[in-house]
């Protein structure tokens, strides 16, 4: 039975007009303003298994943007304030299931768990799955505005000939900003351990990196020492952290990079770039061999 005649009542903003008022529309959960979550500084947390997991990802907290500095490549101002960064690779479970190699992605964070950069691989499907861990790649480093502030390129090197031939040694070029080379990371043959040299844009040796005798140890970190060109003075380190089963079975590496706070920012960027060449050469596992 209809009510008395009168002025029509419009539904509130956001309420679906084709649904009678008082009914819940699953397609419009925001139609009820009194059900909206209130703002606050602490996010709502749920006990596992008791509540549905929200479909939206957690908000990202970025490191506050520093002021521009003279003689510093744009985008590297963040590194001038840091003596330690964390490189966290995204875990891709579909790689283990489908054995289809996907582009790697890394989060770069400071000690306060604030995001500093995002690193994304840009390699085509054929190259990734044909060459696997030996593939040439391009890594693009972006900041909180999505600007590409650094590019890292690894050319293809044939490994079928003599292992001590210079043409087979791995190399990484670092550009900052993209298109302007600031240095190279060069792999050197050594019978016992991983050895690299960090070079400037003129390919002059500036720093060296010495890895452990074995990078396949189970249950322990792998430390790559960054030293001065004399090979004696210790400058910093690149540490691949052991993460249990994630390190043993999946591509979800975690690196800690340490360098002096007052180190030249370009050398900080070069040590940062060396971490990715080390990752691909020693810790990147091909899905093709993950079941062996």
Strand, helix or coil for residue 229: coil
Query: Facing residues of 107 across strands?
Result: 88, 118
Structure tokens at 179: 């298109």
Structure tokens at 227: 């030293």
Chain centre to alpha carbon of residue 11: 47
Pairing verdict, β 205-210 and 195-200: antiparallel
- Interval 216-262: pLDDT, tens: 556 789 999 999 988 889 999 999 998 766 555 556 789 999 999 99
Q: Confirm whether 57 is domain-assigned.
A: no
- pLDDT tier, 164 (very low <50, low <70, confident <90, very high otherwise): low
pTM for the full predicted model = 0.74
Q: Give the domain CATH number at 153.
A: 3.20.90
Instruction: Please give the pLDDT value at position 292.
Output: 37
Instruction: Please give the pLDDT value at position 289.
Output: 46
pLDDT at 270 over 80: yes
Instruction: Please give the pLDDT value at position 41.
Output: 45
Q: Mean pLDDT, to the nearest integer, of 74-96?
A: 90
Distance CA 182, CA 220 (A): 33
pLDDT at 35 over 60: no
Residue 12, C-beta contacts closer than 8 angstroms, at least 6 positions apart: 31, 33
Domain that holds residue 264: 77-283
Q: Confirm whether 33 is domain-assigned.
A: no
Instruction: Please give the pLDDT value at position 66.
Output: 85
Strand, helix or coil for residue 43: coil
Q: Mean pLDDT, to the nearest integer, of 7-13?
A: 52
Distances in whole angstroms, Cα of residue 162 to Cα of each of 156, 167, 189: 16, 9, 11
More confident residue, 117 or 159: 117
Q: Confirm whether 62 is domain-assigned.
A: no
pLDDT at 60 over 60: yes
Instruction: Please give the pLDDT value at position 232.
Output: 86
Q: Confirm whether 69 is domain-assigned.
A: no
Per mean pLDDT, which range of 6-20, 75-89, 148-162, 183-197 is the poorest?
6-20
- Region of 86 (left: φ > 0; alpha: ψ -120 to 50; beta: rest) is beta
Structure tokens at 135: 């593939």
Residue corresponding to tokens 């302007």? 180
Q: Confirm whether 86 is domain-assigned.
A: yes
Helix (H) or strand (E) holding 193: none
Q: Confirm whether 240 is domain-assigned.
A: yes
Nearest Cα to 207, choosing from 264, 149, 246? 264
Q: Confirm whether 274 is domain-assigned.
A: yes
Distance CA 104, CA 111 (A): 23
Instruction: Please give the pLDDT value at position 32.
Output: 38
Query: What is the number of domains present in the chain?
Result: 1
Residue corresponding to tokens 């970190």? 221
Q: Confirm whether 220 is domain-assigned.
A: yes
- pLDDT tier, 10 (very low <50, low <70, confident <90, very high otherwise): low
| Average pLDDT value for the chain | 79
Instruction: Please give the pLDDT value at position 175.
Output: 97
- Interval 143-163: pLDDT, tens: 999 999 999 999 876 665 555
Per mean pLDDT, which range of 6-15, 95-104, 260-269 is the poorest?
6-15
């Amino acid at each position: 039975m209809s009510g008395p005649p009168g002025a029509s009542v419009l539904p509130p903003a956001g309420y679906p007009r084709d649904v009678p008022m008082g009914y819940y529309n699953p397609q419009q959960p925001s139609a009820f303003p009194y059900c909206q979550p209130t703002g606050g500084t602490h996010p709502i947390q749920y006990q596992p298994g008791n509540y549905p997991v929200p479909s939206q990802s957690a908000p990202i907290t970025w490191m506050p943007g520093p002021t521009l500095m003279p003689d510093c490549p744009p985008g590297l101002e963040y590194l001038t304030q840091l003596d330690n960064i964390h490189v966290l690779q995204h875990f891709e479970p579909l790689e283990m299931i489908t054995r289809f190699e996907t582009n790697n992605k890394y989060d770069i964070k400071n000690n306060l768990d604030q995001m500093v950069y995002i690193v994304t691989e840009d390699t085509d499907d054929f190259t990734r799955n044909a060459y696997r861990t030996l593939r040439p790649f391009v890594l693009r480093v972006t900041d909180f505005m999505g600007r590409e502030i650094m590019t890292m390129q690894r050319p293809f090197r044939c490994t079928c000939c003599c292992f001590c031939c210079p043409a087979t040694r791995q190399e990484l070029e670092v550009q900052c900003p993209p298109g302007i080379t600031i240095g190279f990371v060069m792999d050197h043959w050594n019978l016992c351990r991983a050895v690299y040299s960090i070079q400037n844009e003129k390919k002059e040796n500036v720093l060296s990196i010495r890895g452990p005798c074995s990078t396949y140890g189970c249950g322990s970190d792998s430390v790559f020492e960054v030293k001065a060109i004399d090979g004696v003075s210790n400058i910093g380190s690149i540490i691949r952290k052991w993460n249990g089963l994630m390190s043993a079975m999946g591509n979800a590496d975690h690196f800690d990079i340490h360098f002096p706070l007052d180190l030249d920012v370009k050398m900080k960027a070069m040590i940062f770039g060396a971490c990715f060449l080390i990752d691909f050469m020693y810790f990147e596992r091909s899905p093709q061999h993950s079941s062996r």
